[in-house]
Amino acid sequence: MSDTSKAPDGERQFAVIAGSGFQALAKETEGRVFPTDFGAPSSPIRDLDYDGRTVFLLSRHGDSLLIPPHRINYRANMKALELLGVTDIIALNTVGVIAKGFAPGSLAVPDQIIDYTSGRDHSIYDENSASLEHIDFTNPLDSQLRLSLLRAAKAIGVSCHDGGVYAATQGPRLETAAEVNRLESDGADYVGMTAMPEASLSMELGMRFACLSLIVNYAAGRGEKAIHEDIEASTASAREQSMKILNAFFTA
């Protein structure tokens, strides 16, 4: 696996943030609960083993998948990972596709984000902070971590779209067709609900962050069928491919 920093590989600690459809990753292990200054994370932090390499797993929607996107305690999630010494985060998230030439069931590694969310606690710096840093968010997704994911996909022959703009919307409802038209005019290629504020909080806490996005449906007004009609089959296909990429990434 390609190095994504100047630090030796042995000094890096990876974590995976999983969304809906990844319950099997936890394998019903107990995990560890890490209270933070921002409260409790969505789930216990569990260990994944990749040929002797420990990778931490956090389920952003909780073990029962009952926490909606706009109610996730993103600050507690990211702070818990930082307290565990995490340096690199791979976020798995499902998205709808806006751009032409993409199909549900495939994968993407976005390189930009537009944030349309509101009302979320989006920074570790609040009225109680003793310090303040205005992070440079020009490139919100770590370029070298992205490259490593793409190389892992290529090595095992899994097709994965390189780049694109992730539009982060508030949820939990899906978008209207008119809203998707607006997102497209803004330059968005995919639409999801969880990349923000995960990406910015990660940067504030000094952790690298990249998304491995599972394209599970056409965005509103872009497909010929109802959005939920094929979503289960598309999610299963994309999930299987994403697991292969993670295995290649962590065992190479």
Query: For the chain, which domains are there?
Result: 10-120+139-251 (3.40.50.1580)
Q: Which two tokens stand for residue 43?
A: 């789930």
Q: Which string of b and e fits 160-196 if b means at least 16 CB within 10 Å?
A: bbeebbbbbbbbeebbeeebbbebbeeebbbbbbbbb
Backbone angles phi, psi at 248, to 5 degrees: -65, -40
Given the structure tokens 């109680």, which residue do they identify? Answer: 128
How much is the pLDDT for 2?
34
DSSP helix, strand, coil percent of the chain (3-state; round to 5): 30, 25, 45
pTM for the full model? 0.91
Q: What is the pLDDT along the chain (252 residues), one digit of tens a residue?
A: 333 333 445 589 999 999 876 766 666 567 888 889 999 999 999 999 999 999 999 999 998 889 999 999 999 999 999 999 999 999 999 999 999 888 999 999 999 999 999 999 999 988 666 678 899 999 999 999 999 999 999 999 999 999 999 999 999 999 999 999 999 999 999 999 999 999 999 999 999 999 999 999 999 999 888 888 878 889 889 999 999 999 999 998
Q: From CA 125, how far away is CA 139, in angstroms rounded?
A: 20
Sheet strands (E) in 116-223: 160-162, 165-168, 190-192, 208-218
